[in-house]
Structure 1
Amino acid sequence: MSNRERHSGAVTLRGSVTRSSTADQALLDSRGRPDWKTKDAWRTLRILSEFVEGFETMADLPPSVSVFGSARSAENSAECRLGYELGGALARAGYAVITGGGPGVMEAANKGVAEAGGLSVGLGIELPFEQGLNDWVELGIDFRYFFVRKTMFVKYAQGFVVLPGGYGTMDELFEALTLVQTRKVTQFPVVLMGTSYWGGLIDWLRTTMLGEGKISKEDLDLMMLTDDVDEAVNHIVNTSETAP
């Protein structure tokens, strides 16, 4: 039997029944879809069920912080060491830690909080290159739809910490900044950790985006840049609406 394995919500697929497409792809790809009127209407029930599952599972979480970073980072990398230290510090400050549940920085943060006695949460996602939840996740949910998962990251967190990462990390960062800028969420600290990694982005935001009037100076103040774990945690404690 093939060792291929995919998770699609509560369903595990192996061998010949493993699909190459994902639920998100089926929802968003409208090419050659004459049946979209019927299938998309029924698909809303599956989407609703994911929201219900997420809300039910996470409603009783203690104050939590969502931590983002690359799944591709090596275990001994600087950002993984930083993620591990951050997870432990957040646990000692009374926070649970929510990650995407994957490897790399996410696993490091989950390990740090678990070993420090805090609650380690992982929100997985169905992807063509299946990863699965890392072994340090104590409370895990697998989602089919990115937008449902992203809602859970924001709804149940008192702040974001963003370590070096790729497109997915950038997506979460700018979604959080947009929600704070537009006052969809208030008192929501966003911390960037890794000054050498994020410094160029901050410079571009300041010189180009602010320089051309696309954002205001106050918008740059919506995030904090640091390499210091204690400084990051103290900022979250002092800025978030709900502290432990």
Structure 2
Amino acid sequence: MSDDGQPEPGRGYRQGPVLLRGQQIPTTTSDQRLLSRPEGGASWLHDDPWRVMRIQSEFVEGFGALAEVGPAVSVFGSARTRADEPAYALAVDVARLLVEAGYAVITGGGPGIMEAANRGAKEADGLSIGLGIELPFEQGMNDWVDLGVNFRYFFARKTMFVKYSEGFIVLPGGFGTLDELFEALTLVQTHKVVEFPIVLVGREHWQGLLDWISGPVVSAGLISPVDPDLIKVVDTAEEAVDIVVRRGVELRRREEEAVAEAEAAQEAAQASTDES
């Protein structure tokens, strides 16, 4: 099965560093056990502290694996997309252009759009990264991933997507893709992260959602009128990558200016101290 339950030849169930097959595959995931309500007794008082150590190890492993990947962009989209569909070829082109622009490509490591983006990155001789997740059915990292990290917990995996990406390019997808899209939007809107670019590819697919956000959601005062501007929508791989590249140049310029200002302020303060 694929990472959203679609038929896909399995090559093993990953549970952190452990590979399970056949009858060894559990019926629940680590996320399910973490989020389930305790039924009777207080065993959770003993189980959850140990679970915290496991969560900590996931962050340590993720940070260690990804710390030196350099500039990277996350590409999201449906696991159900077939290799003969236009969106698959579009994702390959997006990844290839990202590599040519100097970026590594990060995906969820599964089939469909994820596989296409990893394929585009690898075929362009770039760094192809997959961040897998433990799910209640067999699934494996796609064959185009060069650097793969498997996670038990969705929140640890999501942290890696955001921490090591300079932008999100989102192709047509379902609930998982929407989850990733709106998490990124929320982090940017609330200034929890730098305003990295969020680009939707495929205007026909996304236009209904954009109309709803810009219409009823804005009209009801549920978001600010400027919030829809956080999303860019395009139809081609070239447009998507161009937005990411231009935004990256702008953010690096701002960072350099901020560093220069801080250094100048420090020098001025030191000079004032020396005079006194």
Aligned to 1:11: 18
The number of residue pairs the alignment matches comes to 241
Please, which moves more after superposition, 15-24 or 79-88?
Answer: 15-24
Match of 2:67 among 32, 44, 59: 59
Q: Say yes or no: does 1:43 pair with 2:54.
A: no
Deviation sequence 1:40-84 (CA, Å, 0-9, x none): 111000000000000000000120000000001111112111101
Tell me if the contact between 1:8 and 1:126 (Cα under 8 Å) persists in the aligned partners. Answer: yes
Structure 1: how far apart are the matches of 2:233 and 2:37?
A: 40
Regions of 4+ moved over 3 Å: none
Aligned match of 2:94 in 86, 92, 105? 86
Structure 2 equivalent of residue 210 of structure 1: 218
1:1-244 equivalences in 2 (<5 Å): 5-32=12-39, 34=41, 35-240=43-248, 241-242=251-252
Unaligned runs of 5+ in 2: 1-9, 254-276
Question: Which segment drifts farther, 75-84 or 147-156?
Answer: 75-84
For residues 38 and 175 of structure 1, the distance between their equivalents in structure 2, rounded to whole angstroms, comes to 32
Instruction: Give the whole-Å Cα distance in 2 for the aligned partners of 1:168 and 1:31.
Output: 27
- 1:111 & 1:41 partners in 2: Cα distance? 40
Judging changes above 3 Å, is the alpha-carbon distance between structure 1 residues 89 and 27 closer, same or farther for their aligned structure 2 residues? same
The structure with the larger Rg is 2
CA RMSD of aligned residues (A): 1.4
Query: Aligned in 2, Cα 1:33/1:126: closer, same or farther, shift over 3 Å?
Result: farther
Q: Contact between 1:63 and 1:242, CA under 8 Å: does it hold in 2?
A: no
Could you tell me how far 1:4 is from its partner in structure 2? 8.1
Distance across 1 between alignment mates of 2:195 and 2:223:
19
Give the SS at the match of 2:132: strand
Partner letter of residue 33 of structure 2?
A: A
Gaps of 5+ in 1: none
8 Å Cα contact 2:75-2:171 kept in structure 1 = yes
Contact 2:11–2:140 (CA under 8 A) maintained in structure 1 = no
SS of corresponding position for 1:174: helix
What amino acid is aligned across from residue 21 of structure 1 in structure 2? Answer: T
For the residue of structure 2 that corresponds to 1:133, the secondary structure is coil
Measured after TM superposition, the shift of residue 102 of structure 1 is: 0.2
Distance 1:144 1:78 in 2: 32
Distance in 2 between residues matched to 1:137 and 1:33, nearest whole Å: 43
SS in 2 for 1:221: helix
CA distance in 2, matches of 1:72, 1:15: 24
Cα distance change, pair 194–30 in 1 and its aligned pair in 2 (3 A) = same
* SS across alignment from 1:97: strand
| TM-score, length-scaled by structure 1 | 0.95
Percent of residue pairs identical:
55
Contact 1:103/1:131 (CA < 8 Å) preserved in 2? no
Structure number having the greater helix percentage: 2
Larger displacement relative to structure 2 (102-111 or 230-239): 230-239
